[in-house]
Structure 1
């Protein structure tokens, strides 16, 4: 199963490299696109859950790295939820 990383820029400009055990991230995000914070969190939740489920289907157990990445994204994203104009940018994919 091909894993990948994707670089995002939080609304405060801080960049973070995120992990996915699957290329499914590309079905939810586009390089260079920005997403409202709530939409970004929802897309991340869906994409990383699918990625973890794919690992489970193949190996018999969910991907703890994908679940951990989602937890980090949700924790960091929660800091921006009060700002209705907050947006997250998907900078690039790293295969």
Structure 2
């Protein structure tokens, strides 16, 4: 199962490199696009659930790294929950195939 990393830029201009055990993230985000914080969280939760389900189907257990990554994203997003108009910018995908 191909895993990937993706880079996001938070409203304070810091960046995070995130992990997904599946390429499904590419179905939910476009590099170079901004997403309102709530929309970003909705999308990343759904994509992470799908990715984890794919791991469970293939290996018989959920992906703990995906769950840990989601916790990190949600924790970081709380820093901006009171910021009007907060958006997350998807910088790039890295599938490791370049």
Tell me the TM-score normalized by structure 2: 0.95
Q: Which residue of 1 aligns with 2:54?
A: 54
Distance in 2 of aligned mates of 1:50 and 1:72: 18
For residues 23-68 of structure 1, give each alpha carbon's deviation from its aligned partner in whole angstroms, at most 9, with x where no partner exists: 0000000000000001101111000111011000100000000000
Whole-angstrom distance in 2 between the partners of 1:30 and 1:39: 13
Equivalent pairs, count: 95
- 2:42 corresponds in structure 1 to 42
> How many Å separate the matches in 2 of 1:70 and 1:45?
7
Gaps of 5+ in 2: none
Runs ≥4 residues deviating over 4 A: none
Unaligned 5+ runs, structure 1 = none
